[in-house]
Amino acid sequence: MARVFIGTGQVNYIGTPYQRPIQICNGGKVVPLYFDWNAYGASSVKTNINVLVSLRTPDVKAQLLNQIASVYIDNTNSFAPIYVYCPDTKYTAIAQPNSAGWYPLYTNGLELWVIGQGFVTGQIPQTTIFVSDLFIPPYTDLEISQSQPLYKASANITRGNILYNQNFGVPAIGDQIIQSFINLGILNDVVVPFPPANFIYITGVYLETFGMANTVPLTVEMDFYSTGISGVLFSAFSTSPNATQPGITTNFVPLAINGSNIKINGTETWKFRNQQSITQGGACLNIVYSTNPN
């Protein structure tokens, strides 16, 4: 079904179009156009914007291009589709989200409508368009749109806005790592001190037990769980061997999820439940994680 743009509120292009020569064998010119959709008030409230672009100069004896033959649309880093519409022929060139390419334009006029649809607050993109009087063979870079869902070399991969979704998640970045050290010396529940976040990405969990010499081995049984819908994330068991000489023995246990990238709901309350009362020696839980507000 073709898009219908009649009735969409229209605004004038912000800026002054100008010519830029193309240095190729048969000559030609382009007119670069730049759209910062924030400047047009794009948001979750104002989701659709229609911009009128006239390539005629104020002097009716001159014009920027003799004709319009093709258009290049750079719509990378954008989750909104961009349409370039020719009002005289009703032909539309369509740039998919996260795409870039050359498109033919079939028009006898020098006015274009540039329409963005589906803008969302917090994800307002910018779009660059080159209008040319040369016919450039159609070409669309499909690698960008294909690499994003495949989680390859894309700056636009998102964790999504809910915990249980089908989107891929951005891995935890090294300079975002936070560590949380928790003393397991008591039997009661203790809230894990995660900072405020919508999502928490756990990349490592380590349990270390300390057994005093000449005492019985120290055993730790621990559950890491949420009081919300997520429930128990994992359980851990560690025993520190008894020392044969004065001193302290240590049992350092990287848990099964070590090296993973596990996404948990940061809006829930997370705790650990220590099943054993520790009186000889001690134990420490080290959680390595990063957070994301989105």
138 located within any domain: yes
The predicted pLDDT at position 159 comes to: 45
- Domain ends where: 129, 147, 165? 147
The predicted pLDDT at position 166 comes to: 46
Range 84-93 average pLDDT: 92
156 located within any domain: no
What residues contact 231, with CB distance under 8 A and at least 6 apart?
225
The predicted pLDDT at position 101 comes to: 92
The predicted pLDDT at position 76 comes to: 85
Does residue 274 share a domain with residue 192?
Answer: yes
Does residue 135 share a domain with residue 246?
Answer: no
Does residue 282 share a domain with residue 198?
Answer: yes
Does residue 193 share a domain with residue 140?
Answer: no
The predicted pLDDT at position 49 comes to: 93
153 located within any domain: no
Does residue 134 share a domain with residue 180?
Answer: no
Q: How far, in Å, CA of 4 to CA of 24, rounded?
A: 36
The predicted pLDDT at position 160 comes to: 46
Nearest CA-CA partner of 104 in 116, 115, 91, 117: 91
Asked if residue 92 has pLDDT above 80, the reply is yes
Does residue 188 share a domain with residue 120?
Answer: no
Range 200-215 average pLDDT: 70
5 located within any domain: no
Does residue 196 share a domain with residue 92?
Answer: no
3 located within any domain: no
User: β-strand 199-212 against 262-265: which pairing, if any?
Assistant: antiparallel
Provide the number of structural domains found in the chain: 2
User: β-strand 49-54 against 10-12: which pairing, if any?
Assistant: parallel
Does residue 115 share a domain with residue 195?
Answer: no
Does residue 22 share a domain with residue 137?
Answer: yes
- Domain ends where: 147, 164, 190? 147
Based on DSSP, count helices (H) and strands (E) in the chain, helices before strands: 1, 20
Torsion of CA 150, 153, 155, 158, to 10 degrees: 20
Backbone angles phi, psi at 2, to 5 degrees: -70, 150
pLDDT tens readout for residues 3-51: 667 656 789 999 888 887 776 656 788 899 999 999 999 998 998 999 9
* Joined tokens for residue 27: 């000559």
Does residue 181 share a domain with residue 269?
Answer: yes
CA angle 144, 150, 155 (to 5 degrees): 50
Backbone angles phi, psi at 25, to 5 degrees: -60, -40
What is the domain-level CATH number for residue 226? Answer: 2.60.120
Highest mean pLDDT among 173-177, 184-188, 244-248: 184-188
Q: How far is CA 166 from CA 45, 201, 293, in A?
A: 26, 16, 18
pLDDT tens readout for residues 96-126: 888 899 999 999 999 999 999 989 888 899 9
pLDDT tens readout for residues 44-86: 899 899 999 998 866 545 678 888 999 999 998 888 899 999 9
Does residue 140 share a domain with residue 16?
Answer: yes
Asked if residue 203 has pLDDT above 70, the reply is yes
Asked if residue 276 has pLDDT above 90, the reply is no
The answer to whether residues 263 and 163 touch, using CB atoms and an 8 Å cutoff, is yes
Q: How far is CA 50 from CA 55, 67, 206, in A?
A: 16, 22, 55
- Domain ends where: 147, 167, 192? 147
Does residue 142 share a domain with residue 183?
Answer: no
Asked if residue 190 has pLDDT above 70, the reply is yes
2 located within any domain: no
pLDDT tens readout for residues 219-266: 667 788 888 888 888 877 766 665 455 555 566 666 655 566 788 888
The predicted pLDDT at position 261 comes to: 73
164 located within any domain: no
Range of 76's domain? 10-147
78 located within any domain: yes
Nearest CA-CA partner of 284 in 193, 184, 192, 210: 184
Highest mean pLDDT among 3-7, 196-200, 207-211, 242-246: 196-200
The predicted pLDDT at position 36 comes to: 93
Asked if residue 168 has pLDDT above 50, the reply is no
